[in-house]
C-alpha cells in the first residue's frame, strides 16, 4: 500500500511539470501572433508548388555566349556574340503539332456556335455548371451531347452562317467558312505603360518624378484588343513553291489524321502569339475553377531563350546534340533538313516528319534544329545584340499594319526541312515577316518559371545563402 501511494505522488509531480511546459509553449508561440504586434506577414496564404506543364520540359537558368558561331556563310555580320544570362523557364518538348493547334481552332469554332445557339436555347445548348463538383464554367461549354438534336430545323438555320455560302462551295460540299474563325483577345501593353503611364509633372531624373499623376485616360488605354483569324494558310505549300507539285499537302496536311503529330505550318507570327494567349487562358481557367493560383503566361521564346534551350547545356557546340557534325558515329543524320545539295530523303523525310523523330538534346527538347524553323518573340534588328541588356535580352516590337515592312521582321531559328546545314546551327538566325505564313515555319511555347530554380524552398529561407 505504501508503494502505491508513493507512485501516485510522483505521477502528480510529473503532470505538474508537463502543464508548465505546455503553458510556456503557448506563451512562446503567442509571440508570433499578429495580435501581439510582431511582423509575420499575411497568414493563411495558400501554398503553391509549380508542376511541370504537360508536354513541357524544364530549362534551368544559365549564362552563355549568344550568337557565337564558326561560320557566317552570307557574311551578314549580324550575330555580334555577347555573353547573356536567362532565367529558368519551361519549353514545349516538341513543336506544336497539327492536332494541338486544331484544339485551338475547334475552341474558336465552338465559341462561335455557342454564341449563336445560346441565343436560341441556352438551357439546352450550354453547359454552365459541373453538376457533380459545382464548378461554374465561364464561358459555358457547348453541349455536344447526343441528347441534342443537331439536325433540327431551328439549329440548322442558326448555324447556317458558320458555313460557306452555297455559291462558294466546291462540289456542293458543306464546310465551315474558315474566314469566320476569328479569335478576339485583350492584352496589356506594359512597355508603353512603363514609359508613359502617368502624366509627367517634372524632370524624369528628379526624385519627385515618382509622385506622378494618372493621365486623363487612366490605365485603360494600355489594354489592347486583337482579332486574329486562327485557321492556318493551307495554300502555303503551293505559294511557297509554285513550280512544285504540293497539292496533296495543301489538301490534307492540316486536317488528315495521318498528319496529327506533324508540326503545324502555315501559321504566321500573330497567330502563334494568339495561340499562346488562348493556351494561357485555357490553363488559368482550369486552375481558377479548382481554387488554385494561376501561372505565368505561355508565350513565344525570345531569341536568347530559344538559343539557350537549343544548346542543351553544351554552350560552345554548334548543334543541339552537342557535336560538331550533323551525323552520328553510325553515319545517320541527326535532323530533318536538306543535305547534300538536294538529297532530301537522306535524313528519312522529304518534307516535314513526325515530331520527336530524332534524338532529344541535353534538355530533353526535340527538333530544335530542322523539321520546321520556329518563330521567336524577338523582332529582327541587325544590331540588337549591341543595345539589348545582358540579362534576359529581348528586342520586341508589335508592328502595326501601316508600319514599314522592315518593322515587321521577326527572328526565326533552327532551320527547316528545306534548309541547308548552315541554318541548323543554334547561333544562326533568319527572319520572316509577322504577317506571312510559310510551309517551313512552326513554333513552340515557353512559360517562365515562377521563382529561381527547381527545388527552391517556397518558405522563408533565412538560413539559405
Question: What gap in Å lies between CA 89 and CA 41, rounded to an integer?
Answer: 28
pLDDT band at 44 (very low <50, low <70, confident <90, very high): confident
Question: What gap in Å lies between CA 274 and CA 186, rounded to an integer?
Answer: 10
CA–centroid distance for 354 within its chain: 21
Domain for residue 388, yes or no? Answer: yes
Residue span of the structural domain in which 87 resides: 59-96+234-455
Which residues contact residue 328 at a Cβ distance below 8 angstroms, ignoring those fewer than 6 apart?
321, 334
Contact 179, 190 (CB under 8 A): no
Does residue 73 carry a pLDDT above 90?
no
Rounded to 5 degrees, what angle do the CA atoms 42, 43, 48 make? Answer: 95
Report the range of poorest mean pLDDT among 51-55, 195-199, 323-327: 195-199
For 388-406, what is the mean pLDDT? Answer: 90
Domain for residue 125, yes or no? Answer: no
Beta bridge partners of 448: 89
Does residue 142 carry a pLDDT above 90?
no
pLDDT of residue 213: 53
Q: What is the mean pLDDT of the chain?
A: 83
- The number of CA neighbours under 13 Å toward the Cβ of 89 is 26
Number of compact structural domains in the chain: 1
For 4-15, what is the mean pLDDT? Answer: 51
Domain for residue 341, yes or no? Answer: yes
Domain for residue 167, yes or no? Answer: no
pLDDT band at 6 (very low <50, low <70, confident <90, very high): very low
pLDDT of residue 132: 77
CATH for 281: 3.90.1580.10
Among candidate residues 220, 268, 221, 270, the one with its CA nearest the CA of residue 398: 270
Which residues contact residue 187 at a Cβ distance below 8 angstroms, ignoring those fewer than 6 apart?
223, 224, 226, 277
Domain for residue 119, yes or no? Answer: no
Question: What gap in Å lies between CA 46 and CA 175, rounded to an integer?
Answer: 48
pLDDT of residue 440: 98
Quote the pTM value: 0.83
Question: What gap in Å lies between CA 430 and CA 63, rounded to an integer?
Answer: 23
Peptide bond preceding 454: is omega within 30 degrees of 0, i.e. cis? Answer: no
Contact 312, 362 (CB under 8 A): yes
pLDDT band at 269 (very low <50, low <70, confident <90, very high): very high
Domain for residue 302, yes or no? Answer: yes
Query: 31-45, 59-73, 88-102: which has the highest mean pLDDT?
Result: 88-102
Domain for residue 22, yes or no? Answer: no
Among candidate residues 283, 250, 271, 240, the one with its CA nearest the CA of residue 375: 271
pLDDT of residue 130: 76
C-alpha cell read off for 321: 546534340
Domain for residue 35, yes or no? Answer: no
pLDDT of residue 29: 53
Amino acid at each position: 500500500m505504501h508503494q502505491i501511494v508513493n507512485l501516485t505522488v510522483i505521477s502528480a509531480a510529473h503532470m505538474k511539470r508537463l502543464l508548465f511546459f505546455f503553458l510556456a509553449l503557448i506563451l512562446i508561440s503567442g509571440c508570433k501572433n499578429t495580435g501581439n504586434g510582431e511582423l509575420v506577414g499575411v497568414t493563411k496564404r495558400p501554398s503553391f508548388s509549380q508542376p511541370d506543364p504537360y508536354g513541357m520540359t524544364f530549362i534551368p537558368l544559365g549564362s552563355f555566349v549568344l550568337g557565337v558561331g564558326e561560320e557566317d556563310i552570307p557574311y551578314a555580320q549580324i550575330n555580334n556574340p555577347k555573353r547573356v544570362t536567362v532565367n529558368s523557364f519551361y519549353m514545349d518538348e516538341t513543336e506544336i503539332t497539327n492536332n494541338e493547334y486544331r484544339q485551338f481552332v475547334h475552341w474558336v469554332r465552338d465559341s462561335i456556335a455557342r454564341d449563336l445557339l445560346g441565343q436560341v436555347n441556352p438551357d439546352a445548348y450550354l453547359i454552365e455548371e459541373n453538376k457533380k463538383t459545382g464548378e461554374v464554367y465561364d464561358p459555358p461549354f457547348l453541349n455536344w451531347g447526343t441528347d441534342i438534336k443537331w439536325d433540327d430545323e431551328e439549329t440548322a438555320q442558326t448555324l447556317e452562317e458558320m458555313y460557306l455560302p452555297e455559291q462558294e462551295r466546291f462540289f456542293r460540299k458543306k464546310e465551315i467558312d474558315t474566314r469566320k474563325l476569328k479569335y478576339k483577345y485583350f492584352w496589356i501593353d506594359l512597355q508603353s505603360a512603363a514609359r508613359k503611364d502617368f502624366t509627367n509633372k517634372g524632370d524624369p531624373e528628379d526624385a519627385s518624378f515618382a509622385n506622378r499623376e494618372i493621365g486623363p485616360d487612366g490605365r485603360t488605354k494600355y489594354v489592347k484588343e486583337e482579332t486574329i483569324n486562327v485557321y492556318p494558310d493551307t495554300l502555303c505549300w503551293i505559294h511557297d513553291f509554285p513550280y512544285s507539285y504540293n497539292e496533296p499537302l495543301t489538301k490534307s496536311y492540316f486536317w488528315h489524321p495521318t498528319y496529327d503529330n506533324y508540326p503545324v505550318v502555315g501559321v504566321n507570327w500573330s497567330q502563334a502569339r494568339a495561340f499562346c494567349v488562348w493556351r494561357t487562358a485555357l490553363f488559368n481557367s482550369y486552375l481558377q475553377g479548382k481554387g488554385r493560383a494561376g501561372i505565368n503566361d505561355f508565350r513565344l521564346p525570345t531569341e536568347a531563350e530559344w538559343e539557350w534551350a537549343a544548346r542543351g547545356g553544351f554552350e560552345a557546340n554548334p548543334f543541339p546534340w552537342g557535336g560538331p557534325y550533323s551525323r552520328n558515329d553510325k553515319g545517320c543524320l541527326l535532323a530533318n533538313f536538306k543535305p547534300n545539295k538536294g538529297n532530301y530523303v537522306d535524313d528519312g523525310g522529304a518534307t516535314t516528319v513526325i515530331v520527336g523523330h530524332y534524338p532529344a538534346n541535353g534538355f530533353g527538347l526535340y527538333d530544335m534544329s530542322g523539321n520546321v524553323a520556329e518563330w521567336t518573340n524577338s523582332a529582327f534588328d541587325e544590331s540588337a545584340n549591341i543595345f539589348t541588356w545582358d540579362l534576359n535580352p529581348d528586342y520586341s516590337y508589335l508592328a502595326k499594319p501601316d508600319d514599314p515592312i522592315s518593322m515587321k521582321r521577326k527572328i526565326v531559328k533552327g532551320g527547316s526541312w528545306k534548309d541547308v546545314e548552315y541554318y541548323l546551327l543554334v547561333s544562326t538566325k533568319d527572319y520572316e515577316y509577322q504577317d506571312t505564313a510559310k510551309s517551313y515555319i512552326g513554333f513552340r511555347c515557353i512559360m517562365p518559371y515562377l521563382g529561381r530554380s527547381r527545388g527552391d524552398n517556397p518558405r522563408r529561407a533565412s538560413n539559405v545563402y
